[in-house]
């Protein structure tokens, strides 16, 4: 299944691939040129199709459990100050998404969307320490309806990423595991939890969006 955000890119890729193959037809005396043209066209198409794939995920809902909002690798677990919304100490967990990961973003918890804000910005590499405050990004906060705790998660564009897409609006009812957005071509998602939250992952763990348990709220 292909994500709807990929349709324009796929159409452009098909046009480029067609142009490459068509151009090679002028070099009838050089079979190697035809081979290279077909190989390049196929590579581009496969690369784009795999990037925009949207596999079905079956989320086991949890009242207090927090699941991974995206596929990727855990690169940060630390206590830090969240300066945009909470303005206090929080536990930050960051997941890096490489270009080969599924880039669909999913709600980590169920509840009410309390805050949504988009920030234009730079395109530092996603693992750069300043990427969370200087890159193009969106911030979303969901309030858990069981214990009223709030979880903040932030989409961050990387060096290759040039567009963040999110569908959440303030006041929406969020369902754990449901899609809330997409980031194109390499990126990162940060989560911020209350101090004392039971974190279930460790650095370098590979996680699956909508499936892997990240934390347990108290």
Residue-wise pLDDT tens digits, 149-172: 999 999 998 665 567 889 999 999
Question: Domain map of the chain by residue range?
Answer: 4-51, 65-216
pLDDT of residue 129 exceeding 80, the answer is no
How large a percentage of the chain has pLDDT more than 90? 56
Nearest residue to 101 (alpha-carbon basis) of 127, 69, 72: 72
For residues 92 and 187, give the distance between their C-alpha atoms in angstroms, rounded to a whole number.
16
Q: Which residues lie below 8 Å from residue 31, measured CB to CB, with a gap of 6+?
A: none
Exposure of 26 by Cβ count < 10 A (0-12 exposed, 13-18 middle, 19+ buried)?
Answer: exposed
pLDDT value for 4 = 82
pLDDT value for 88 = 96
**Marked catalytic residue, from 98, 131, 187, 213:** 187
User: Sheet of 88-97: strands edge to edge?
Assistant: 173-174, 111-119, 137-143, 150-157, 187-193, 88-97, 72-82, 206-207
pLDDT band at residue 177 using 50, 70 and 90 as cut-offs: very high
Structural contact between residues 16 and 8, judged by C-beta atoms closer than 8 angstroms:
no
Q: What is the pTM of this model?
A: 0.84
pLDDT of residue 99 exceeding 90, the answer is no
Per-residue buried b or exposed e for 46-58, using 16+ beta carbons within 10 Å of the residue's own CB: eebeebbebeebe
132 is catalytic: no
Whether domain 65-216 has CATH 1.10.1660: the reply is: no
């Amino acid at each position: 299944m292909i994500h709807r955000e990929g349709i324009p890119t796929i159409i452009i890729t098909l046009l480029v691939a067609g142009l490459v193959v068509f151009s090679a037809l002028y070099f009838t005396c050089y079979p190697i040129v035809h081979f290279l043209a077909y190989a390049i066209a196929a590579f581009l198409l496969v690369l784009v199709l795999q990037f925009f794939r949207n596999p079905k995920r079956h989320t086991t809902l949890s009242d207090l459990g927090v699941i991974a909002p995206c596929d990727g690798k855990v690169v940060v677990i630390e206590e830090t100050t969240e300066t945009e919304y909470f303005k206090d100490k929080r536990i930050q967990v960051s997941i890096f998404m490489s270009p080969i990961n599924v880039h669909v973003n999913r709600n980590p918890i169920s509840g009410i969307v309390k805050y949504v804000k988009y920030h234009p910005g730079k395109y530092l590499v996603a693992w750069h320490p300043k990427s969370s405050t200087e890159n193009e990004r969106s911030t979303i906060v969901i309030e858990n309806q069981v214990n009223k705790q709030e979880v903040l998660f932030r989409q961050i564009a990387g060096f290759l990423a040039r567009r963040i897409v999110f569908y959440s609006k303030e006041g929406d009812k969020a369902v754990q595991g449901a899609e809330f957005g997409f980031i194109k071509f390499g990126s990162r998602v940060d989560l911020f939890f209350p101090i004392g939250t039971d974190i279930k992952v460790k650095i370098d763990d590979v996680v699956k969006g909508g499936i892997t348990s990240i934390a347990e709220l108290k």
